Amino acid sequence: MSTESSSPMGIFERLLSLWVALCIVAGVILGALFPGMFQLLASIEYASVNLVVALFIWVMIYPMMVNVDFSSIKDVGKKPKGLCITLVVNWLIKPFTMAALGILFFEHLFAGLVEPQVAKEYIAGMILLGVAPCTAMVFVWSQLVRGDANYTLVQVSLNDLIMVFAFAPIAALLLGVTDIIVPWETLLLSVVLYVVIPLVAGYVTRKSLDGGGNEERIAAFTGRIKPFSVIGLLATVVLLFGFQAQTILDKPLIILLIAVPLLIQSYGVFMIAYGWGYLWRVPFRIAAPAALIGTSNFFELAVAVAISLFGLHSGAALATVVGVLVEVPVMLSLVALANRTRSHFA
């Protein structure tokens, strides 16, 4: 992370990558030592959305929503370039590059390492990740690069709206099946939990603090609650890796094989969006979140669809789970890269 004195993060946040790495190790160890506890926590879910994870994600997002200046959202349309990058990358590039990489690796480069039928399931899981842009965690990544909170909110909201109509057709096209059933409960519940509720809470909080136009009260309040964002992120990492600890220990080679194309996809998509923003002279506070939104995935939706189509113990479900495991470390590395290259933007 950036260590500039102007960074909004303190020493704890600047070492966030280290804490996340420690939490990954802790999650795997705890999951292996106390599998029953993590199975119990994993069972607390509704419509494939784990409510404990949702709570921690809410804790992460709420402080960021307080920073949203709702009166200025109407002006976002005057800067359409960031929205254009987000939408083109998410819906015209990312799903198809993910499918191409899956086919390249599992039908050709890794063909001798996995059975053909299982390989097709891995490809399907990767495709489902590629068709599901992230809803929640992008607020965290945007905050870490000091992105425009108002613009990020509009980008995420527009993505969610398009996902309602585009997810099933694109997934059906790339998977070669016509009976894709979108788990609407998962999709809508996630949007409500991760966007609507924290957005309303942030709006109410901001109105109560800003009654006399006092921005200092808002800044002081967000400064006090900001550590909870990091705590929520670290707790989420421990839970996600704890839930999958046995899979990680039982199938390390398969996880590594699936992770390779996912890593190439993530860094490749980021570079496309980030480079586009640079060449198009988009301000950093808009370009960086746009690239991060295009890179991250809506893993709850992808996992739910993979399970409903191929089964709980299928290769497709495993591929979506690997997507969950690589998401946080990859995104933190991209946040660090963005912060280091901030000065290159106008």
pLDDT in tens, 89-117: 999 999 999 999 999 999 999 988 989 88
Q: What percent of the chain has pLDDT over 90?
A: 40
Decide if pLDDT at 238 tops 80: yes
5 found inside a domain: no
6 found inside a domain: no
State which residues form the domain around 323.
11-344
Distance CA 230, CA 60 (A): 7
2 found inside a domain: no
> Across-strand partners of 50?
45
Q: Look at strands 45-46 and 49-50 and give their pairing.
A: antiparallel
Task: Write out pLDDT tens, residues 174-189.
Answer: 888 655 666 778 878 8
> What is the number of domains present in the chain?
1
Task: Write out pLDDT tens, residues 266-303.
Answer: 999 999 999 999 999 999 999 999 999 889 988 878 88
- In degrees and rounded to multiples of 5, residue 48 shows phi and psi of 65, 10
CATH classification at residue 157? 1.20.1530.20
1 found inside a domain: no
The H-or-E segment that residue 50 falls in is strand 49-50
pTM for the complete prediction?
0.83
3 found inside a domain: no
What pLDDT sits at residue 72?
67
222 found inside a domain: yes
Q: What percent of the chain has pLDDT over 70?
A: 93
Contact 183, 305 (CB under 8 A): yes
209 found inside a domain: yes
> Across-strand partners of 191?
none
Distance CA 37, CA 43 (A): 10
Task: Write out pLDDT tens, residues 56-65.
Answer: 888 888 887 8
275 found inside a domain: yes
* Confidence at 214, pLDDT banded by 50, 70, 90: low
> Across-strand partners of 36?
none
Alpha helices in 1-91 (DSSP H): 11-14, 16-33, 35-42, 51-66, 80-88
Looking at every residue in the chain, the average pLDDT score rounds to: 86
